[in-house]
């Protein structure tokens, strides 16, 4: 079972600030990355979900190997 990404990892993944979950959700929606909403409204997801979404879009490499986010990694812009 995969662990959920931390709020900081989601912020780094999306390029949207930690304190702006609405912007994070917009980036995830634009990139067709499914997520659940936490009680506070912020998105919750796993690396498995991110990788599956990227592979479904035809991205050549998975987002991360495990729970560590590569420095500066952001989702590519949806086309």
Sequence spans of domains, the chain? 7-56
With 80 as the cut, is the pLDDT of residue 17 above it? yes
38-57 confidence digits (pLDDT tens): 999 999 999 999 988 888 87
Global pTM reads 0.74
Distance separating alpha carbons of residues 62 and 48, to the nearest angstrom: 9
Q: Is the dihedral of CA 56, 63, 75, 79 positive or negative?
A: negative
């Amino acid at each position: 079972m995969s662990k959920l990404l931390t709020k900081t990892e989601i912020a780094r993944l999306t390029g949207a600030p930690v304190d702006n979950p609405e912007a994070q959700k917009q980036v995830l929606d634009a990139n067709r990355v499914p997520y659940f909403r936490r009680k506070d409204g912020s998105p919750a997801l796993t690396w498995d979900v991110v990788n599956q979404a990227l592979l479904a879009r035809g991205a050549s490499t998975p987002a991360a190997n495990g729970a560590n986010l590569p420095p500066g990694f952001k989702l590519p812009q949806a086309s």
